[in-house]
Amino acid sequence: MKESTLNATQMVRNYAAANGIIRKKDVRIALNLSIDQTAYAFDTLKRQGYISQIKHGMYKFCEAVEKPGADINDKIWKAMKVSGTFTMHDIAKLAESTVNYVYKRFRFFRAQGYIQQYGVKRTGRTSQMKLWRLTLSGKEKALAPNEEEFTPDPFVMAAVNLNRLICSGVAIRDHEAGKQALEFCDQIRKGLEDAATS
């Protein structure tokens, strides 16, 4: 659990991610926000692409959001996509970047499972460079490299799902749903205990 408290925009984003379709008035009441806080949060999330208006006062959450300022990363992804196998130097040259920056991106891509080493390329009698290639998930990512998916906080999701089970009465009527509600209670209790001790 994060030590810092969520601001109004983050709270609304979590609420929207958990509920899918939201009404501005419902959000304001559920999250105990002022009219100004709610308006600011909605304006910010609309501008960032996390929500879109579907009719007056009603919005839907957008799971994938285009990240701003991604020109150089876009070039790196395009260079990898067209190259088949490549070295960091190849990609730096094609993307008009520095080897240092491409190295940092490769470390991230490898950790995410987007690229894998694919042998070596001899560059002289004794020198060589690592060859890389995109993995299957890397090829999929290359189709939309600048999209970012938002995943709501699991603590928030547990609270929202518990609320649905209790308010609908399903947790009382259905044995399995009741067990699921108890699991959500345990998750919430653990999250609150962790927050209290951190």
- CA–CA separation, 124 and 102 (whole Å): 22
Domain count, the chain: 3
Provide the CB-side half-sphere exposure for 107 (13 A, CA): 5
The CATH code of the domain that includes 135 is 1.10.10.10
Co-location of 116 and 97 in the same domain: yes
Q: How confident is the model at residue 197 (pLDDT cuts 50, 70, 90)?
A: confident
What pLDDT, in 10s, does the model give residues 181-195? 999 999 888 888 887
Co-location of 98 and 143 in the same domain: yes
Pair of tokens at residue 98: 């520095």
Co-location of 158 and 135 in the same domain: no
Is pLDDT of 66 > 70? no
Co-location of 160 and 140 in the same domain: no
Give the β-pairing of 64-66 and 147-149: antiparallel
**What average pLDDT score do residues 66-72 get?**
60
Co-location of 158 and 131 in the same domain: no
Domain membership of residue 3 as a residue range:
1-63
What pLDDT, in 10s, does the model give residues 106-142? 998 998 899 999 988 888 788 888 999 999 988 988 8
Co-location of 126 and 86 in the same domain: yes
Is the Cα torsion angle 152, 187, 196, 31 positive or negative in sign?
positive
pTM: 0.46
pLDDT score, position 183: 92
Co-location of 83 and 113 in the same domain: yes
Co-location of 2 and 51 in the same domain: yes
Is pLDDT of 158 > 60? yes
- CA–CA separation, 91 and 103 (whole Å): 10
